[in-house]
Amino acid sequence: MTKKQKDYSKLKNQLQLQSMVIPGIIFLLIFAYIPMYGLVMAFKEYNVFTGLSDSPWIGFKFFIEFFKDPYFINVMRNTIFLNLAGLIIGFPAPIILAILICEIRSIRFKRVVQTVSYLPHFLSWVIFGGIALEMLSPNGILSYFMQMIGLSSKPVNFMSQADRFWIIYIVIIMIKNVGFSSILYIAAITGIDQQMFDAAEIDGASRFQKILRITVPSIMGTIVILLIFQISAILNTGIEQFLVLQNSLNLSWSETIDTYVYKVGLRQGRYSFAASVGFFKSVVSVILLVIANRVSRKVTGKGLF
């Protein structure tokens, strides 16, 4: 090959590579960056007909309106409370499950437990939530169970009790996701050098000592990274499961920022107001991510970036 030919094929290959990456970048510019730019509407009185650039600036008006809204405290309380409770109960659960699964001695039984515990994660929220609603209805099994053990003399409608929404929600979320969340920890535990356990065995360590002194420290890195993710997502609840489980009776406990933005923005058409609420959420999430990451770097020496 002459030098000229070589240069030509180099250029050709570079162009081909660019033709692979640039469409992806264009995709993100459109579907991720334009909406980010669109956030300026939070500071404007957006009107569908005049368009974004011609809408008048109004500064922080909608932010102030949101903070002063009596609903604000309610929505914030639900969002933070549900996530925090989910974090405190829901975060250790998959770790414990992973450790217990790895302690199972029969390989076949272990595999069955794994298979079964991942399954609910793959059912859609409509189906899983729909089943939960059925089981919690006055005609459902839980109401029957309550009557059977004498806790109630008449059928119970669990979903109409607003103050119980959070416990119902956390239990449902746990059943759906605990198995799946344990996968990463199981992988981390499987990756631990078996010699460590053998050495501990010789030294006379008990099962619990091995778990506490070897297993848990070994998967600390995985734990920290997942914890950072969860903390930064504290204002994030997702919408799908809430819209299935919500009803007019439990709304005071089940309305979160995400569902609120959806309803105010898209159902009532108050775009700018909803965008400012969403903006507030995004900014808080980024700040939390940075803080959580920094704290984790200081304390454990591990972090995301």
Partner 1 sequence: MRQKAEIFDYVNIFLMTIIMFIMVYPMWYIIVGAFNEGADYARGGVYFWARKLTIENFQAIFYQKAILQAFWITILKSGIGTITSVFFTTWVAFGITRPKLKGKKIYIPVIMFTMFFSGGLIPYFILISDIGLYDNFLVYIIPTLFSVWYMIIIQSFLRELPEALMEAATIDGASEYKIFFAIVLPLSKPVLASITLFTVVGHWNVYFDSMMFTSSQHLETIQYYLRKVISDPGVSGSISNAGAAEIPDSLNTITPQSVKFATMVVTALPIIMVYPFLQKYFVKGLTIGAVKG
Region near partner 1 per CB under 8 A, out of 80-88, 129-137, 160-168, 192-200: 129-137
Residue 249 CB, nearest approach to partner 1 (Å) = 13
Distances in Å between the alpha carbon of 19 and those of 5, 6, 195, 268? 21, 20, 49, 42
Q: Which of 113, 162, 227, 295 binds partner 1 (CB under 8 A)?
A: 113
Token pair recorded at residue 232: 């930064």
> Residue 107 interacts with partner 1 (CB under 8 A)?
no
> Residue 268 interacts with partner 1 (CB under 8 A)?
no
> Residue 14 interacts with partner 1 (CB under 8 A)?
yes
Contact 72, 235 (CB under 8 A): no
Q: Which of 80, 85, 104, 251 binds partner 1 (CB under 8 A)?
A: 104
> Residue 50 interacts with partner 1 (CB under 8 A)?
no
Q: Which of residues 55-94 bind partner 1 (CB under 8 A)?
A: none
Token pair recorded at residue 235: 């204002």
> Residue 119 interacts with partner 1 (CB under 8 A)?
yes
> Residue 23 interacts with partner 1 (CB under 8 A)?
yes
Cα dihedral value 228, 230, 234, 236, nearest 10: 130
Question: What track of x and - describes contact with partner 1 for positions 208 through 247 (by CB under 8 A)?
Answer: -------------xx--x-------------xx--xx-xx
Which residues make Cβ contacts (< 8 Å) with residue 263, sequence separation at least 6? none
| Choice between 255 and 258, CB closer to partner 1 | 258
Q: Which of 84, 187, 199, 299 binds partner 1 (CB under 8 A)?
A: 187
Q: Which of residues 153-172 bind partner 1 (CB under 8 A)?
A: none
Region near partner 1 per CB under 8 A, out of 61-69, 82-90, 212-220, 256-264: 256-264
> Residue 299 interacts with partner 1 (CB under 8 A)?
no
Residue 126 CB, nearest approach to partner 1 (Å) = 5
